[in-house]
Amino acid sequence: MGRIIAVYGLIAAVIVIAGWNIGMLFVPEGGAAGMVAGYLSMLVATSFVFVGIKRYRDTELGGVIRFWPAFWLGLGIASVAAVAYVFSWEVYMWKTDYAFMNEYIAGYLKDLKASGASAAEIAKQSAEMQDFAKQYEQPLFRMLITLSEFAPIGLLVPLVSAALLRKSNFMPAKAAA
């Protein structure tokens, strides 16, 4: 099981890092398009959770796996990809001299002004964002925030994969000819 987690986790990690870098290259301003690109790369990467569980079920267990072992296997694969995602974000932060939060706040306040928010509302939001920026300077806090971006997909894909693959008649292994 450890080998399956390592192999498929590393494949997922390479895909999530490549997708993240491609997204940053083509959608540098972020926003909604950046979020879509990021979550799409996470979804493509975590598709290897399904592949890994199926391979383990078919090659190691004779085509049968129960829900919980499948779920934990999938979670292990997704965890490797999640750690890679967090690591790549930390490298990006380091390479850009931790400028992300200031740029994010400036863009957020610009959008707030453009939407016609009052000066009091803008000042309130600015103060809240500055407080958040102070917390974001802490590496552990920043890593947990980054991990929380990956967590919904990293939990949902193993859950769905385990639910589907626990049924031995769902995509059964092909008999050797």
What does the pLDDT look like over 122-154, one tens digit per residue?
999 999 999 999 999 999 999 999 999 999 999
Of residues 131, 128, 127, 133, the one with CA closest to residue 104: 133
- pLDDT tier, 26 (very low <50, low <70, confident <90, very high otherwise): confident
Joined together, the tokens standing for residue 80 give: 């490797």
Can you give the pLDDT at residue 128? 95
- pLDDT tier, 175 (very low <50, low <70, confident <90, very high otherwise): low
Q: What is the pLDDT of residues 88-106, one digit of tens each?
A: 999 989 998 988 889 889 8
pLDDT higher than threshold 60 for residue 50: yes
Report the half-sphere exposure of 119 (CA within 13 A, side-chain side).
0
The amino acid sitting at 23 is G
Can you give the pLDDT at residue 69? 98
State how far the Cα of 70 lies from the Cα of 1, in Å rounded to an integer.
10
Q: What would the mean pLDDT of 17-31 be, rounded to a whole number? A: 79
Can you give the pLDDT at residue 176? 59
State how far the Cα of 7 lies from the Cα of 12, in Å rounded to an integer.
9
Whether pTM > 0.85 for this model: the answer is: yes
State how far the Cα of 46 lies from the Cα of 36, in Å rounded to an integer.
15
**Other Cβ atoms closer than 10 A to 126:** 14
**Lowest-confidence range among 8-12, 18-22, 118-122?**
18-22
pLDDT higher than threshold 60 for residue 1: yes
More reliable by pLDDT, 135 or 35 = 135
pLDDT higher than threshold 80 for residue 28: no
